[in-house]
Each structure stands twice: as structure tokens, then as C-alpha cells.
């Protein structure tokens, strides 16, 4: 079977599946984490650990609070890393995502609220010339997560944690064949009718904290919550995600980290599995920090992204955080975010 029928069958399966993956990946919130390329599962030591690895709260300050917002967008990229030939042949897609996080970390509890909004569009050209047509698949999903974090130290240096959360989802989906979509695809996805519903879910994590090395493991969306859309029988689902990481305290104020997904994520463009590396360096009695990172996918398209970020103390214990990410191919979105963090 040629590559084009295989692509077509894959897209038709996604469009017609009653429970489709919404592809809200790990790299949705957490400015320090995103500035380090997403290599943060073993670093997680501020209130954003409530998202990245709840067990990491034990390794951070007694009190930590973060409030932040970020967004990213990739428009008109082509699945498979190829150019779209005249007359069609490969999926053409757009995707936009934004995330907001407000989290509080203390011992032995934490609380978190985060909202992730995603719009996506996939256009599959079919045929050529007078026989040409398209399948246009639009979707939108906003999930609001309200969570409480519980922590426990098993033995000295070994911690476990969980986030018990209620997830409110607002979902919409529309597959159109052969009628084309007029205007901007992402605007059309944002205008979809939606249906709302609530689900309970659990995230869990483990952290091993040694003098020079930290090792982390975290699992998200353990119940794989799914949300109905107005389209009969179609739901958008958050898939289970598992990620492991290791962080080295290489020198005073310097941390080097590496993360790897242990599960594969899927979206209409195919599969991906993130591998990320990052570095963070604090300066001047921890009054400022610089971060950098790189992330690629080890499955499907490479989707390479480089990131940079930093923190600046506005006053003792209060920091302004920011980051930018630049996608190095069409399938990797450009992203940015800003926020405030309080640590004592």
C-alpha cells in the first residue's frame, strides 16, 4: 500500500473514532520547566511541581506560589515533514494552545488550578483536478483542573505525591466532507459549538532526592478522562502520560536535567514522544536565573524546539519569570509565557 492511502486511512480513523485524543501534552504550563525545554520532572521544587511532579513539593521551599500564562501556535504545517504537492496528498494542519497555572505548594499539602485551551484543524486533500475534495477535521477542547496535592515521605530522600483533581472539560468537534472551511482554520475551530462535562482524575509522582542527583517519575491523567462533544458519539480524551527524569546539581546554582516520555502521544499528524534536556543557572544569591533547553520527538516527526528563559527577583522571595520557545520545523510551535512566583 502506498504512503498516501495509509495517511488517508489513518486520518479517517481519527475523524471517525468515538474517543479521539486531544493531545494536550506535558509542555502546557510551568514557566521554569518550559524554559528548560520541558526537562523538569526531577527538578520540580516549586509550586509548579503540583503539575510536573507532585512528589517534588517536598524538595522545595516551605511556601511557594506561582501564577503564570503562556501560549503557542503552529500554523499551516504538513504531516510527515514533507511539502504539500500540487493537487494535495498530505494533511495540512493548524494548532494553537494556551495554558494558565495558579498553584500553591506547602508541606505536606498543595493546591493547583490550571486551564489548558487547544484549537486544532486538519485538512486532508483528496483526489486531484475536477475530482478534488477535502476532509476538514476541526476540534477545540478547554480543560480546567482543580486539584489538591497530598505528599508522603517513605524513607529519607524518597517521596511520593498525588494530585486528586476535578477536571471540567468543554469540547467541540466537526468533521466536514467535502465542504471546505471558509477563512482561518483556527478561527473556525474556535467557533465550534461545545458541550461541557466534569470528571475526576488523578496524577501521581515519585521523587528520589540524593545529595547531588534527583530522579523523578510522574504519571498524568491516570483515568484518561473523556469529554462529549455536540457531535453524536464523538468525545475528546486526555490520554495517560508517563515521564521520567534525572537532574544533576552540577555546581553551585547550576542544575542540568534530562527527561524522557515513557508513553507515546498521538494527534492527527501522528505520534510523538518527547526527549528533553535543560539547564538552569542561578546568580547573585539567587536573585536572577537563566535557563535553556532543547526538545525533540523520538517518534514520528522530530518536532525540534529550543527554549530560553529566566527569572529576576523583584524583591526578596518574589520573582518575575518568562520564557520563549522556537520551533525549528513547521510541526513545532513557537511559544512564550510570563508569570510571577513567590518562594520562602
pLDDT one digit per residue (tens) for the chain, 344 residues:
444 444 444 455 555 556 666 667 788 899 999 999 999 999 999 999 999 999 999 999 999 999 999 998 766 555 544 344 444 445 677 888 899 999 999 877 899 999 999 998 887 766 554 445 677 888 999 999 999 999 999 999 999 999 999 999 999 998 776 666 667 778 888 999 999 999 999 999 999 999 999 999 999 999 999 999 998 888 999 989 999 999 999 999 999 999 999 999 877 667 889 999 999 999 988 999 999 999 999 998 888 999 999 999 999 999 999 999 999 887 788 899 999 999 98
* Contacts with 43 (C-beta within 8 Å, 6 or more apart), sequence order: 32, 33, 36, 56, 214, 216, 245, 247, 255, 257, 278, 280
Spatial neighbors of 30 by CB under 8 A, at least 6 apart, are 40, 48, 51, 52, 68, 101
**Residue 92 neighbours by CB under 8 Å, 6+ apart:** 76, 77, 78, 84, 122, 123, 124, 125
Read off the DSSP letter of residue 284.
T
Q: Are 29 and 121 in contact (CB under 8 A)?
A: no
What is the CATH classification number for the domain harbouring 220?
Answer: 2.40.160.60
pLDDT number for residue 122: 82
- What are the residue ranges of helices labelled H in the chain? 3-16, 31-35, 49-52, 185-190
pLDDT of residue 81: 42
What's the number of domains the chain is made of? 1
Cα–Cα distance measured from residue 290 to residue 309, given in angstroms and rounded to the nearest whole number? 6
- Scored b (16 or more CB within 10 A) or e, 100-117 reads bbbbbbbeeebbbbbbbb
Q: What are 211's three cell numbers?
A: 545529595
Task: Kindly report the pTM of this predicted structure.
Answer: 0.89
CA–CA distance, 56 with 58 (Å, rounded to integer): 5
Question: What is the spatial distance between Cα 290 and Cα 32, in angstroms, rounded to a whole number?
Answer: 10
Write out the residue range of the structural domain in which residue 260 sits. 3-343
Amino acid at each position: 500500500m502506498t504512503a498516501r492511502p495509509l495517511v488517508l486511512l489513518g486520518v479517517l480513523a481519527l475523524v471517525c473514532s468515538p474517543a479521539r485524543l486531544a493531545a494536550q501534552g506535558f509542555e502546557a504550563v510551568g514557566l521554569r520547566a518550559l524554559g528548560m525545554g520541558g526537562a523538569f520532572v526531577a527538578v520540580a521544587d516549586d509550586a509548579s511541581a503540583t503539575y510536573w511532579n507532585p512528589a517534588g513539593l517536598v524538595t522545595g521551599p516551605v511556601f511557594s506560589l506561582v501564577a503564570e500564562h503562556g501560549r503557542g501556535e503552529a500554523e499551516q504545517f504538513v504531516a510527515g515533514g514533507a511539502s504539500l504537492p500540487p493537487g494535495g496528498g498530505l494533511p495540512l494542519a493548524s494548532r494553537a494552545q494556551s495554558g494558565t497555572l495558579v498553584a500553591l505548594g506547602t508541606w505536606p499539602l498543595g493546591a493547583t488550578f490550571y486551564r489548558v485551551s487547544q484549537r486544532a484543524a486538519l485538512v486532508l486533500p483528496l483526489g486531484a483536478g475536477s475530482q478534488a475534495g477535502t476532509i476538514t477535521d476541526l476540534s477545540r477542547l478547554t480543560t480546567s483542573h482543580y486539584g489538591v496535592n497530598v505528599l508522603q515521605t517513605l524513607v529519607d530522600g524518597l517521596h511520593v505525591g498525588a494530585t486528586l483533581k476535578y477536571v471540567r472539560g468543554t469540547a467541540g468537534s466537526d468533521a466536514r466532507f467535502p465542504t471546505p472551511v471558509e477563512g482561518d482554520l483556527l478561527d473556525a475551530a474556535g467557533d465550534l459549538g461545545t458541550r461541557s462535562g466534569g470528571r475526576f482524575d488523578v496524577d501521581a509522582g515519585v521523587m528520589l532526592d540524593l545529595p547531588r542527583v534527583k530522579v523523578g517519575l510522574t504519571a498524568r491523567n491516570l483515568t484518561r478522562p473523556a469529554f462529549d462533544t455536540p457531535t453524536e458519539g464523538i468525545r475528546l480524551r486526555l490520554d495517560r502520560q508517563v515521564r521520567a527524569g534525572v537532574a544533576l546539581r552540577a555546581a553551585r546554582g547550576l542544575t542540568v536535567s534530562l527527561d524522557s516520555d515513557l508513553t507515546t502521544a498521538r494527534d492527527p499528524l501522528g505520534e510523538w514522544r518527547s526527549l528533553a534536556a535543560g539547564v538552569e543557572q542561578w546568580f547573585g544569591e539567587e536573585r536572577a536565573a537563566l535557563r535553556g533547553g532543547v526538545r525533540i520527538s523520538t517518534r514520528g516527526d522530530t518536532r525540534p524546539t529550543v527554549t530560553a528563559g529566566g527569572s529576576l527577583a523583584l524583591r526578596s522571595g518574589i520573582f518575575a519569570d518568562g520564557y520563549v520557545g522556537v520551533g525549528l520545523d513547521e510541526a513545532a510551535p513557537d511559544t512564550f509565557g510570563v508569570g510571577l512566583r513567590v518562594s520562602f
